[in-house]
Amino acid sequence: MNLKILFLSLLALCFQIENIFASGKPPARPNIIFFLIDDMGWMDCSVYGSKYYETPNIDRLSKRGIVFNNAYTASPLCSPTRGSIMTGKYPERFHLTTPAGHLAPNPDAPLMKDSAVEWNKVVCPDSRTFMPLEEFTIAEALKNAGYTTAHIGKWHLGHEAYWPEHQGFDVNIAGGSYPGPPSFFSPYKNVKLSDGPDKEYLTDRITDEALNYIETHSDAPFFLNFWHFAVHAPYQGQMDLIRKYEQKKDPRGKQDNAIMGAMIESMDKSLGRLIDKLAELKMDENTIIIFFSDNGGNMYDLINGKTATNNFPLKMGKGNIHEGGIRVPCIISWPGTIKSNQVSEQLISSIDFYPTLLDIAGLKPRENQILDGVTLYPILLKGKTLKKRELYCHFPHYIPATDNYPSTSVRSGDWKLIRVYGEGPGQTSAYELYNLKSDIGENNNLAASNPELVAKLDKLIENHVNKTQGIFPIVNPKYKPGTESPMGKKPVFPIEDYPSY
């Protein structure tokens, strides 16, 4: 080839690259980091309105991408949401509807009984205790496309046969069956993580592991599932940060747990180190970061009389189907590709990340693969609005500590309907209807004055549960009115049970 032809070929290639960026298409096969927090509430960082927690690196990330104000989890508890992220499906499709990933596998156990204890008005389905191996995870899809894959941090999607290394990940560090870490300080007592120096802090340690992975895999596209144990119990923070927050006061008068402040700040520092490492390696413009939480903030653990956090103005928290349990922080950043300093009010869900990452990596779903989520590509890359949609949460369980009754919700536009099983006349369903645009705190139940809208949204709930093969509660024949119920009774943890250093 002579020099003239070579020059013209290179010039044509440059024009092609320029046209790709002009058309809004991303660079091919970016690195992907899914930065998942455990139990971080919608109000647990300054981006969303906290005046107590200090989260400068979450602030940094928000300025580099798009903040979603209406991001939802498929469940108010961890294992189901984690399963929805990995599969792009509502967790009721594979019947993992409680945080049961630490329990023994139960693949053959029947999920419905004929009756329940006397204070239950309905019989609730049991949950599977694992994410099935038959599910084609996002890690498997990306691995098949040439990505290296690593999971670092909390897993909680089943016992050893269901761990990350059997679900599409080349590397698994710290990911086991643990619902929370045995300890935030070394020795960790985690079979998938070697102990560090005495009192080494877990959040710092797994960040070291993540940065090492990035450094050693910088020459090929990678998918890093960086799922923190923070800020789940046990409540253990670094003492210098605890003392700092003991001196602080929330001007809103809502958040006041110094240990939670310390844990959130350590997690925020982890994010900052990650952003800095990508910049140092000149990888930040070819790396997408998804920042998300697996459910709302913990409003029921009492530590010396103080709740772990406070989700106000949202109602309730972790383990409850109201907004405080399922609306969570979400930021997506991709410098140079996603426009910076954006805020979106569009409805998105944990089921949407799978199809979004497929789209970004230039992949298609398998033939006949079921994905309940939709791609967020039009929002992220083109600033478009998604088609009108509904989001669901099927959570048919009594959770006494969080005051949750078996229920299913649908969010449609500004409206949210909750069907509460067994709480109506004759143990039929009762309904709560809220306009979240005018009543984000779900204080004014409008069901009685809007019977037609209730009926319309209730039909959507019925169709959704049937379509996803979810299980409805049934009337409990052994129910005895007036039987003492444990609903609303909060667990209390003395602070000495959770040592800090």
Over pLDDT 70: what percentage of the chain? Answer: 92
Length of the chain: 501
Q: How confident is the model over 17-23, as a mean pLDDT?
A: 36
> Is the distance from CB of 440 to CB of 323 less than 8 angstroms?
yes
Q: How confident is the model over 156-179, as a mean pLDDT?
A: 97
Full-model pTM = 0.93
> Is the distance from CB of 445 to CB of 427 less than 8 angstroms?
no
> Is the distance from CB of 333 to CB of 32 less than 8 angstroms?
no
In this structure, is the dihedral angle defined by the CA atoms of residues 60, 273, 199 and 162, taken in order, positive or negative? Answer: positive
Q: How confident is the model over 379-400, as a mean pLDDT?
A: 94
Distance CA 35, CA 289 (A): 7
Mean pLDDT score of the chain, rounded to an integer? Answer: 92
- Determine the longest span between alpha carbons in the chain, in angstroms: 92
Distance CA 120, CA 484 (A): 10
Show Cβ contacts of residue 207 under 8 Å, excluding neighbours closer than 6 positions: 270, 273, 274
Distance CA 48, CA 42 (A): 7
Q: How confident is the model over 349-361, as a mean pLDDT?
A: 97
Show Cβ contacts of residue 142 under 8 Å, excluding neighbours closer than 6 positions: 32, 149, 168, 223, 357, 361, 363
Half-sphere exposure of 312 (CA within 13 A, CB side): 11
| Confidence (pLDDT) at 301 | 78
DSSP state of 206: H
Distance CA 4, CA 9 (A): 9
Residue 191 to residues 126, 130, 194: CA-CA distances in angstroms?
28, 19, 7
In CATH, which of 3.40.50.880, 3.90.1150.10, 3.40.50.970, 3.40.720.10 is domain 29-114+127-385? 3.40.720.10
- DSSP-derived secondary structure for 336-361: TTSPSSEEEEEEEEGGGHHHHHHHHT
Range in 2-11, 142-151, 330-339, 416-425 the model is least confident about: 2-11
222-258 pLDDT, tens per residue? 999 999 999 999 999 999 999 999 999 999 999 999 9
Residue ranges per domain, the chain? 29-114+127-385
Closest CA to 402 of 320, 294, 484, 324: 320
